[in-house]
Structure 1
Amino acid sequence: MAHMQYDPWHAALLDLLHLIQQAQGDQVAASVSAALRPLGLESTCYLVDEEQVRLHPLPEPGRPAPDALGVDGTVAGRAFTAVATQRTTTAGGEDRLWVPLIDGTERLGVVDLVIRRDDCDITVLQEWCESYVNLVGHLIASKMPYGDSLNRARRTRRMSVASELLLATLPPQTFTSDRMVVSAILQPHYDVGGDGFDYALDDETAWFCVLDGMGRGLPAALMTVSTMAAMRTARRAGYGLYAVVRDAERALRAQFPNAAYVTGVLCELHLASGRLRYLNAGHPPPLLLRRHHAVRELTGGRRLPLGLGQGEPLLGEEVLEPGDRLLLYTDGVVEARDAAGAVFGVERLVDLTERSALAGTPAPETLRGLAHRVMGFQDGPPRDDATLMLVEWSAEAARRAVV
Structure 2
Amino acid sequence: MSVPRPAEWHGMLAELIDVAHFVGPSGLAEIVEVAAARVGLDVTIHLVDHEQERLRVLSPDKATDPIPIRGSVAGRAFMTLTPVPSAGDPPRLWMPIVNGTERIGVLEVRGADPADPAMISGTRLLAGLVGHMITSKTAYGDAIVVARRSRPMTTAAEVLWQLLPPLTFATDHFVLAAVLEPSYEVGGDAFDYTVDDGVARFAVYDGVGKGLPAALTTAVALGASRASRRAGAGLAEMAEEVDRALKGEFTDSRFVTAVLAEFDLHAGHLRYVGAGHPPPVLLRRGKAVRALAGGRRTPLGVPAPTAVAEERLERGDRLLFYTDGITEARDADGTLFGLERLVDLVERHAAVGLPVAETARRISHAVRDHQGGPPADDATLLLLEWSEAAAKRSVP
Could you say which TM-score interval applies, normalised by the shorter chain?
over 0.9
Is this contact kept in 1: 2:258–2:277, CA < 8 A? yes
Structure 1 CA distance for aligned equivalents of residues 149 and 359 of structure 2: 22
Q: Secondary structure at the match of 1:356?
A: helix
Q: How does 1:142-153 map to 2 (within 5 A)?
A: 142-153=136-147
Residue equivalent to 1:3: none
Shift of 1:194: 0.1
Name the aligned partner's letter for residue 162 of structure 2: A
2:47 corresponding residue in structure 1: 47
* Unaligned 5+ runs, structure 2: 1-5
Tell me the distance in 1 between the aligned counterparts of 2:373 and 2:193: 32
- Summarize the alignment of residues 139-218 of structure 1 with structure 2, pairs less than 5 Å apart: 139-218=133-212
Deviates more, 1:65-74 or 1:182-191: 65-74
Aligned pairs (5 A) from 1:66-105: 66-92=64-90, 95-105=91-101
Pair 133,390 (structure 1): closer, same or farther in 2 beyond 3 Å = same
Deviates more, 1:255-264 or 1:273-282: 255-264
The answer for the alignment partner of 2:3 in structure 1 is none
> How many Å apart are 1:381 and its aligned residue?
5.8
Within a 5 Å distance, the mapping from 1:3-402 to structure 2 comes to: 7-60=7-60, 63-92=61-90, 95-116=91-112, 122-311=116-305, 313-378=306-371, 382-402=375-395
SS at match of 2:82: coil
Distance in 2 of aligned mates of 1:13 and 1:88: 24
How far off is 1:401 after superposition?
Answer: 0.8
Between the aligned partners of 2:212 and 2:284, the Cα distance in structure 1 is: 38
SS in 1 for 2:165: coil
Q: 1:387 to 1:180 in 2, by over 3 A?
A: same
Structure 2 length-normalised TM: 0.96
Q: CA deviation at 1:168?
A: 0.6
263-272 or 238-247, which deviates more: 238-247
How many aligned residue pairs are there?
A: 391
The C-alpha deviation readout for 1:127-165, integer Å capped at 9, x for no partner, is 121012101101011111111111101111111100000
SS of equivalent to 2:257: strand
SS in 1 for 2:175: strand
Percentage identity across paired residues of the two chains: 48
Q: Residues 398 and 198 of structure 1: is their aligned pair in 2 closer, same or farther, counting only changes over 3 Å?
A: same
Note the C-alpha offset of 1:121: 8.5
Residue 379 (structure 1) shift: 5.1
Query: AA paired with 1:55?
Result: L
Contact 2:190 2:380 (C-alpha < 8 Å) held by counterparts: yes
Which ranges in structure 1 are unaligned for 5 or more consecutive residues?
A: 1-5
Q: By how many angstroms is 1:90 displaced?
A: 2.5
What secondary structure is seen at the aligned counterpart in 1 of 2:227? Answer: helix
Give secondary structure in 1 for the equivalent of 2:65.
coil
Deviation for aligned residue 1:184: 0.3
Per-residue deviation at 1:67?
2.7
Contact kept, 8 Å, 2:322 with 2:380, in 1: the verdict is yes
SS of 1:191's equivalent? coil
